[in-house]
Structure 1
Amino acid sequence: MPNSLFSRFIAACLLCFYLSVGSASEPQGDSRNSALTESEILFTLSGSNTIGEKLAPALAQRFLEKLGARNIQLSQTHAVEKTVSGVLPNGKSSAIEIKAHGSSTGFKALAHNETDIAMASRRIKDSERSELLEKHGDLSAIDSEYTIAVDGLAVIVHPDIAIKQLNTEQLAHIFSGKVTNWSELGGNDRPIKLFARDEQSGTYDTFKSLVLKRHKVALSPQAKRFESSGKLSKLVSTTQGAIGFVALPYVNDAKPIAVAEAGASLYFMPNTFTVSTEDYALSRRLYLYLPANSTNPYAQQFIDFVLKDEAQKVVEESNLVSLMINDATVHFNRNYPPRYLNMIRESKRLSVTFHFDHNLKLDNKGQRDIGRLVDYIKHNAISDVFVFGFSAESLDASHDKTLSKELANTISAKLEKLGVNPFYTQGYGSRGAIASNDTANGRAKNQRVEIWVGR
């Protein structure tokens, strides 16, 4: 039986080899975990899963590269937690922690001194602002609140669903369980299956604010909830009759549909331009909140870095909409003023739109966008700049016309201070609404200033 004995000998040798390889790999894992444990934490970001899943790790890696770090590694430490580590030029092993459990958790972490920067896919709530006021100052102020990207909350359905567009009221009826079959909306006779983000998610918070609360309904208990946007999107794309909502980068194989506010006639598909201009009904800003009283120099350096074009390219690589300005030829319908339509016929619209708070003060993003717009105009040697203002509807056409012109003049004056003289500035009142004037959010969207340039 020499062949049999020889075979057993070979098998035993191979077994010993594999066992030795396996035992050698274990200390490597321990060594890596030990290295992470020994790394100095430069700062921690906590909050939004939309930011924390892809964008924050990518920005952290690029930031460490900017600091001259080597051996940069991304480590998954939890389902929604990551650590980006590297060795700085001074030889110190350093790391950035990212904990992406949902927007509300970022503000809670700030309250308990458990994070340096809060990530949020919606603006800080008044209740959160009040709670943190004594400890961190006004986090809604320009020296604490930073818009780092714009995102579209896409409504997605299974690819076989024939419906192409829905308004926010119809979405509210679907997600509250009032409408349970696609045939009730003109589609095929098929039960609707609901998928939604979890309670901690800023994506869900935005959907609740823009759709559910606006129409005074609650999410159906039949909806399946998910902490991960990617997992939700995958299930919608593979489940017959499914509908869900995700951040724009997570549409993947599902089918996005056009959305309008209830009471508005314009439906917009979620795409880079309509999200950037914030014309799309379910567009939203992505924020970082760094308290003005922070004493962490690395956290402030990171914020400054994120606002620069180099980092904004990382935003685009992460399939989000950056703050960098671009242009597009846009065609509108006849609901707009004839003079406006004549003016834009040979023009292109820029992707920046200026919005104002309830006191008609230019918001934080807008204040920073002024500088970005001036740089774009000068870099491209643009001479024909058109500034067009619009107001929400007050049922007083004269008042609306005056207010829209004042808003346009506000932007033109800021541009002139920085060396850019608009060719034409005009206000068009409340005509050309892109949203419903029946809601505060709709009125805020309609009250805006657009920038157009000659072709």
Structure 2
Amino acid sequence: MTPNYFFVRASVLAFAVYAMALSPGAAQTAKTIFCFTDGTKVGAERFETKDGKFLLYVPGAASPLEYPATKVCSVNVDPCNCVPAPQLPPNSGPAPISAAAQFGIHGSNTIGERLMPSLIEAYARKAYGAAPVTKLGKPEEMEITLVNGSAAKAVIDFQSHGSGTAAKGLAEGKAQIGMASRQLKQQEADLLKQTLNIDAYAQENEHVLALDGLAVIVNPQNPVRKLTLEQIGRVFAGQITNWRDVGGADLPIVLYRRDDKSGTFDTFKSLVLDPLNLKISPEAKKFESSELLVEGAGKDPGGIGFIALPYVGKGNRALDIDSACGLTSSATRFAVKSEEYPLARRLFLYTAGTPSVAEASNILRFALSDDAQPIIADNEFVSLAIEFQPPQAQQDWAKSVQDKPTLGLGTDKTIPSTPLRGFAQAMTHMRRTTMEFRFRHASADLDNRALQDIERLARYLTAPENSRRKFLLVGFADSDGGWATNDDLAARRAESVARLLVQQNVSVPRANIKSLSYLAPVACNDDDAGKAKNRRVEVWIE
């Protein structure tokens, strides 16, 4: 094996700067100095990595400067040092590839572009005290080598060609972990059943990695405050072209969108366009950079764009999502984490049980751990860490429920006064959390995210600083049927969560289990998806 297999300078650098590129707040506010093999030096206010290239945003430039990764020899090294990597003497350096475990991680570009590589790097640093060595290959492919001192521990065939390749990689035995920015389709699950004899949707095979959400933004002075998903879809498909048609000024609508390779576009397409069988308008202005899109849409009186949540409020305003039943949802991290927000989705990792390669199993365990949650957030996704609803937002929500208790339920529903008073009282001293446990379709069993969250909640409640805090498990139901029947169903849902917490050594007194039947829906009850969101157990903590 030649020494430069492990020490390809450009590929090592490309991976090393992932951590710098991940956090806009950290790496991209200060100037970053790039040194090139021809001796030149460029200072960038921010940068991105894409298709084996660096995109450098320099002061005064309208568009980023593009450089192949092979031309970059160091970052933030003063003075610049572009001396070639030294040749290693015989019998030194990492162990031969054949001595290391080899496995694949294939699937979603949304997960694979930055999130999963950064999780692998964090795992490697924690486990071995060193960043992995990466060799760039074809577009959306790279070889990641985990090293421990001079030994190669594992070589990962990393491919992010899309969610549709996750099940295929598992079925063909080429991947130990499949990445998917949606739940596997039934035909993909059937493939895994036929080839591996596994249930893809079982807890040991389907793992929720993170949540993804986006906002639809406009100029702050735009009088339009909210749109339905259908209106948003028709706007971006070019079917609605003037703001007056959605209650705004007589002004042409100007569309701002991310490029086709963006995970943000993938989310928008999946959640807005595809359900309506619509295509994005060719008139939409396309951006590789989120920052440039935000700047353009925010300054344009007729502009509208879609963007990841961290960019909301940066010279723009996010539209609320309206619904047919009168419920309105805002683009907040809490609404995405609790999965009440319509423009939110789960990101998954799939396996065939516990991965047979130890390093793959260790990476999976780390990616789902509490230690991984800050890394997920740094990558502009929404982590699964427990979070409280902001006080003012909770007050507004509680007041809305008390003022209009039948909102979202229909005019034929009634709310008894006693539980409504109990709800109002609890809202004065309890805080809603992002822990909203939901159930499998047509089942009383918790879904896989809920089963993961049980363990996360148990760790939180048994931590010394939280062990004496009162908490409530509050069951809710959809609006099919009467109050009493749903009150019983909601109570049983809360009891099922309590039983699982007890198995995790959490004490759950009977007084901690409450039911509010079909009060306070978080989605319309007019379809299966909305009803499923309302069949939930919330966790409120003192």
TM-score strictly above 0.5: yes
Matched, 1:377 2:461: yes
Q: Per the alignment, in what secondary structure is the counterpart of residue 240 of structure 2? A: coil
Q: Closer, same or farther in 2 for the Cα pair 1:344/1:307, shift >3 Å?
A: same
AA at the equivalent of 1:270: A
Deviates more, 1:350-359 or 1:335-344: 335-344
List, as ranges, runs of 4+ consecutive aligned residues in structure 1 with deviation greater than 6 Å: 24-27, 29-32, 197-202
Matched, 1:391 2:452: no
What displacement does 1:191 show?
A: 2.6
What runs of 5+ residues in structure 2 fail to find an aligned partner? 1-37, 40-70, 74-80, 406-419
Matched, 1:410 2:496: yes
Matched, 1:272 2:272: no
What displacement does 1:351 show?
A: 1.9
Matched, 1:48 2:108: yes
Deviates more, 1:312-321 or 1:350-359: 312-321
What displacement does 1:153 show?
A: 2.6
Q: Closer, same or farther in 2 for the Cα pair 1:193/1:78, shift >3 Å?
A: farther
Partner residue in 2 for 1:124 = 184
Cα separation, 2, equivalents of 1:81 and 1:188: 47
What displacement does 1:54 show?
A: 2.2
Q: CA RMSD in A?
A: 3.6
What runs of 5+ residues in structure 1 fail to find an aligned partner? 1-16
Q: Closer, same or farther in 2 for the Cα pair 1:31/1:238, shift >3 Å?
A: farther
What displacement does 1:258 show?
A: 3.8
Q: Give the number of the structure whose residues are more often helix, by fraction.
A: 1
Matched, 1:344 2:405: no
What displacement does 1:71 show?
A: 5.5
Deviates more, 1:445-454 or 1:237-246: 237-246
Deviates more, 1:293-302 or 1:306-315: 293-302
Partner residue in 2 for 1:263 = 324
Cα separation, 2, equivalents of 1:47 and 1:41: 20
**Which one of 518, 523, 536 corresponds to residue 435 of structure 1?**
523
Structural mapping, 1:8-407, within 5 Å: 28=84, 42-70=102-130, 72-73=132-133, 77=137, 80-89=140-149, 91-92=151-152, 94-136=154-196, 137-157=198-218, 161-195=222-256, 206-208=267-269, 210-212=271-273, 214=275, 216-222=276-282, 224=284, 231=289, 234-235=292-293, 237-238=295-296, 240=300, 241-249=302-310, 255=316, 257-260=318-321, 262-292=323-353, 294-328=355-389, 329=391, 330-331=394-395, 332=397, 333=400, 334=402, 335-336=404-405, 337-358=420-441, 359-379=443-463, 380-407=466-493
Cα separation, 1, equivalents of 2:236 and 2:518: 32
Q: Deviation string for 1:149-175 (max 9, x for gaps)?
A: 222132234566453322223213323
Q: Deviation string for 1:250-294 (max 9, x for gaps)?
A: 669573524335224343332322221122222222111122274
Partner residue in 2 for 1:11 = none
What displacement does 1:90 show?
A: 5.3
Q: Deviation string for 1:296-350 (max 9, x for gaps)?
A: 2221111111122222222222232222223343222124534212222111122
Partner residue in 1 for 2:506 = 419
What displacement does 1:134 show?
A: 1.6
Q: Closer, same or farther in 2 for the Cα pair 1:74/1:254, shift >3 Å?
A: farther
Q: Per the alignment, in what secondary structure is the counterpart of residue 501 of structure 2? A: helix
Give the conservation status (yes or no) of the 8 Å contact 1:195–1:243. Answer: yes
Cα separation, 2, equivalents of 1:437 and 1:209: 22
Q: Deviation string for 1:380-435 (max 9, x for gaps)?
A: 12341111111111143332222212211211222233332144322212121111
Give the conservation status (yes or no) of the 8 Å contact 2:309–2:333. Answer: no
Deviates more, 1:117-126 or 1:326-335: 326-335
Cα separation, 1, equivalents of 2:475 and 2:237: 37
TM-score, normalised via structure 1 length: 0.81
Q: Deviation string for 1:168-199 (max 9, x for gaps)?
A: 23213323333112222233333334455677
AA at the equivalent of 2:292: K
Q: Per the alignment, in what secondary structure is the counterpart of residue 67 of structure 1? A: helix
Deviates more, 1:265-274 or 1:157-166: 157-166
Give the conservation status (yes or no) of the 8 Å contact 2:204–2:353. Answer: yes
Q: Closer, same or farther in 2 for the Cα pair 1:196/1:436, shift >3 Å?
A: farther
Partner residue in 2 for 1:7 = none
AA at the equivalent of 2:523: A
Q: Per the alignment, in what secondary structure is the counterpart of residue 413 of structure 1? A: helix
What displacement does 1:109 show?
A: 3.3
Partner residue in 1 for 2:536 = 448
Q: Closer, same or farther in 2 for the Cα pair 1:254/1:82, shift >3 Å?
A: farther
Cα separation, 1, equivalents of 2:251 and 2:472: 49
Cα separation, 2, equivalents of 1:383 and 1:301: 33
What displacement does 1:377 show?
A: 1.0
Q: Per the alignment, in what secondary structure is the counterpart of residue 151 of structure 2? A: coil
Deviates more, 1:40-49 or 1:318-327: 40-49
Give the conservation status (yes or no) of the 8 Å contact 1:47–1:104. Answer: yes
Q: Deviation string for 1:183-235 (max 9, x for gaps)?
A: 22233333334455677877556545543455x44224536597x8x536633
Q: Closer, same or farther in 2 for the Cα pair 1:185/1:149, shift >3 Å?
A: same
AA at the equivalent of 2:488: T
Give the conservation status (yes or no) of the 8 Å contact 2:474–2:494. Answer: yes
Give the conservation status (yes or no) of the 8 Å contact 2:312–2:318. Answer: no
Deviates more, 1:238-247 or 1:118-127: 238-247
Q: Closer, same or farther in 2 for the Cα pair 1:121/1:256, shift >3 Å?
A: farther
Cα separation, 1, equivalents of 2:141 and 2:315: 26
What displacement does 1:113 show?
A: 3.9
What displacement does 1:102 show?
A: 2.7
Give the conservation status (yes or no) of the 8 Å contact 1:196–1:244. Answer: yes
